């Protein structure tokens, strides 16, 4: 019995991109698709009904955070994460591997997983008081020790422990435990980390397939390797060929780790040219509009990113003509919607002037209405990409949208 069934309906001529369907135990995901991030079993400021009304097909929750609070065993007693958070559609959980980066190399620093090679300061670890902040995650050969950001308690996560937690949470798609490396790390360290990630992937795969949960949960292996072509291709090949003693492999693949903004498309293409064509691919933590087009064109089926809701809470809203900052005084008396081309409930119901008032007054409703809009915008942009692939005009749609958006 296969937990996932992936079918390709149409491909972009001359490119790696494709439109398809991913069937899970809790429903079908038309791909490519944007995955809504609900880190702690909730999409901040939104109810699950709000999320569903944006057109979301799938939600991703965070293994590390749910393990610490309220606890995966407690969630299991509630019947799993689907019931606990009242989401009856497809659900994903990450492995906790990103916290190796965010609580380790990136902790206490202004360091992101995507950097610009045209800004040398982003490629050199900062030597300041900030960089001396003690890390909350320490990497060992068999796993990672974490200090809880909540109460300082010590926890040790191994590949087997990560999978066990994800089994208790009960998502349709889960991920192998990996090390998400910093973009500032040396090639030598990237190589060492890659060996660890591959070792952990094998352990994750064998542990998962040895349990009855594997009949109901698809496991994705994660490709790492940073910005290095040889490491990326090596990782893609290794993860693609990885099997249990019984001959069982991963049900799909995640593309993780750090990227340089300028060559992200090249790195994604390196990987997807190697990965098998008949299994789904997920680009982890990427969600800017131009990056979504790049990913789709280069064979990515799923994306997740906190950017739409995080930016909405800060007052940055998407439109077809670029982003706007609702704090700008020109919106105080604006009677129109955020974006006349948008069909979300916020744009259908409320004016920019009202939203300006909510944000300026620090009303909770501001985050709700802004998040509804940004999520709807991104989710449905990727749906339009999918339709453009089916219609055979993806490149024309890409050029038209980005010209309007970036000009």
The distance from CA 239 to its chain's CA centroid, rounded to whole angstroms, is 19
pLDDT beyond 70 at 362? yes
215-239 residue pLDDT tens? 999 999 999 998 899 999 999 999 9
pLDDT in tens, 45-84: 999 999 999 999 999 999 999 999 999 999 999 999 999 9
Poorest-pLDDT segment among 24-38, 80-94, 141-155? 141-155
pLDDT of residue 114: 57
The answer, yes or no, to whether residue 127 has pLDDT greater than 70, is no
Q: Quick one: which of 16, 129, 34, 90 has its CA closest to 376?
A: 34
* Phi and psi at residue 163, to the nearest 5°: -65, -40
User: Are the beta carbons of 139 and 100 closer than 8 angstroms?
Assistant: yes
Read off the pTM. 0.92
Mean pLDDT of 316-336: 98
Confidence class for position 107, pLDDT limits 50, 70, 90 = very low
Contacts of 234 (CB under 8 A, 6+ apart): 194, 225
Q: Which of 94, 178, 291, 339 is catalytic?
A: 94
Give the CA distances from residue 364 to residues 182, 280, 314, 318, in Å, rounded to whole numbers and listed in that order: 34, 37, 12, 19
Reduced to 3 states (helix: H, G, I; strand: E, B; else coil), residue 154 is: strand
pLDDT of residue 131: 45
DSSP one-letter string for 225-283: -TT-HHHHHHHHHHHHH---TTS---SEEEE-S-EEGGGHHHHHHHHHHHS-TTS-EEE
Gap between the Cα atoms of 167 and 72, Å rounded = 9
Q: Percent of the chain at pLDDT above 70?
A: 90
- In 3D, which of 160, 191, 193, 197 has the Cα closest to residue 178? 197
- Looking only at the bridges linking them, the beta strands covering 18-24 and 5-11 are antiparallel
Q: Are 92 and 173 in contact (CB under 8 A)?
A: yes
User: Residue 27 corresponds to which tokens in the numbers above?
Assistant: 């429903």
User: For the residues 185-200, what does the mean pLDDT come to?
Assistant: 92
* In the predicted structure, residue 326 carries a pLDDT above the cut 90: yes
Residue 30 has pLDDT above 70, yes or no: yes
pLDDT at 137: 73
pLDDT of res. 388 = 98
pLDDT confidence band for 158 (50 / 70 / 90): very high
The structural domains of the chain, with segments of one domain joined by +, span 5-305, 314-406
Of the candidates 217, 214, 274, 271, the residue with the CA atom closest to the CA atom of residue 244: 214
Quickly state the pLDDT bin for 116 (edges 50, 70, 90): low
> Which tokens sit at 369?
């209405």
Q: Is the pLDDT of residue 106 over 80?
A: no
* Residue 191 pLDDT grade (very low, low, confident, very high; cuts 50, 70, 90): very high
- Told to judge if 291 belongs to the known catalytic residues of this protein, a careful annotator would answer no
Q: Is 310's pLDDT higher than 90?
A: yes
Find all residues with CB under 8 Å of 121, minimum gap 6, and list them.
none
Mean pLDDT score of the chain:
91
Q: Concatenate the DSSP letters of all residues of 302-330 into one string.
A: EEE-SHHHHHHHTTEE--TT--EETTSGG
**Predicted local distance difference test score (pLDDT) of residue 138:** 82
Of the pLDDT bands very low, low, confident and very high (cuts 50, 70, 90), residue 120 is low
Give residue-wise pLDDT tens across range 250-286. 999 999 977 777 778 899 999 999 999 999 999 999 9
Give the least confident one: 34-38, 150-154, 296-300. Answer: 150-154
Q: What is the pLDDT of residue 395?
A: 98
Side by side, which strands form the sheet with 154-157? 137-139, 144-147, 154-157
Kindly state the DSSP code that residue 12 receives in the 8-state scheme.
-
Pairing of strands 27-31, 18-24: antiparallel
Is 304 noted as a catalytic residue in this protein? yes
Average pLDDT of the residues in 13-23: 98
From 72, 251, 304, 339, the catalytic residue: 304
Query: Can you tell me the mean pLDDT for 296-305?
Result: 98
Render 338-351 in DSSP notation, one character per residue.
S-TT--SHHHHH--
Segment 3-10 shows an average pLDDT of 97
pLDDT band at 373 (very low <50, low <70, confident <90, very high): very high
DSSP codes of every residue in 37-88: E-TTSS-TT--HHHHHHTT---EEE-HHHHHHTT-HHHHHHTT-HHHHHT--
Residue 104, pLDDT score: 44
The domain defined by 5-305 folds into TIM Barrel (3.20.20)
């Amino acid at each position: 019995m296969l937990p996932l069934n992936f079918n390709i309906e149409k491909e972009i001529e001359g490119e790696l991109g494709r439109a398809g369907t991913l069937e899970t135990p809790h429903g079908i995901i038309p791909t490519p698709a944007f995955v809504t991030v609900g880190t702690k079993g909730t999409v901040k400021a939104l109810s699950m009904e709000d999320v569903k009304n944006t057109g979301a097909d799938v939600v991703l929750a965070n293994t590390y955070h749910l393990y610490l609070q309220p606890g995966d065993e407690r969630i299991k007693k509630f019947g799993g994460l689907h019931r606990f958070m009242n989401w009856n559609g497809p659900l994903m959980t990450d492995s906790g591997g990103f916290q190796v980066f965010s609580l380790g190399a990136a902790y206490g620093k202004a360091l992101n997983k995507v950097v610009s090679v045209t800004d040398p300061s982003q490629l050199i670890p900062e030597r300041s008081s900030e960089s001396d902040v003690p890390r909350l995650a320490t990497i060992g050969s068999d796993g990672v020790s974490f200090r809880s950001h909540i109460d300082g308690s010590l926890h040790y996560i191994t590949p087997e422990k990560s999978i066990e937690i994800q089994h208790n949470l009960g998502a349709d798609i889960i991920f192998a435990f990996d090390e998400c490396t910093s973009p500032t790390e040396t090639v030598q360290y990237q190589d060492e980390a890659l060996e660890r990630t591959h070792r952990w992937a094998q352990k994750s795969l064998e542990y998962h397939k040895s349990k009855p949960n594997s009949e109901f949960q698809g496991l994705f292996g994660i490709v790492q390797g940073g910005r290095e072509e040889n490491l990326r291709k090596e990782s893609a090949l290794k993860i693609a060929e990885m099997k249990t003693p019984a001959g069982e492999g991963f049900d799909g693949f995640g593309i993780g780790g750090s990227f340089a903004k300028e060559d992200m498309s090249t790195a994604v293409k390196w990987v997807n040219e190697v990965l098998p064509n008949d299994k789904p691919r997920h680009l982890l933590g990427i969600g800017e509009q131009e990056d979504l087009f790049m990913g789709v064109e280069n064979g990515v089926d799923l994306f997740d990113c906190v950017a739409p809701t995080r930016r909405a809470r800060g007052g940055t809203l998407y439109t077809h003509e670029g982003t706007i900052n609702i704090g700008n005084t020109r919106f105080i008396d604006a009677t129109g919607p955020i974006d006349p081309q948008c069909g979300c409930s916020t744009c259908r119901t409320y004016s920019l002037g009202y939203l300006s008032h909510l944000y300026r007054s620090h009303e909770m409703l501001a985050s709700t209405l802004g998040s509804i809009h940004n999520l709807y915008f991104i989710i449905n942009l990727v749906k339009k990409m999918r339709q453009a692939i089916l219609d055979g005009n993806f490149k024309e749609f890409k050029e038209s949208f980005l010209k309007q958006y970036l000009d």
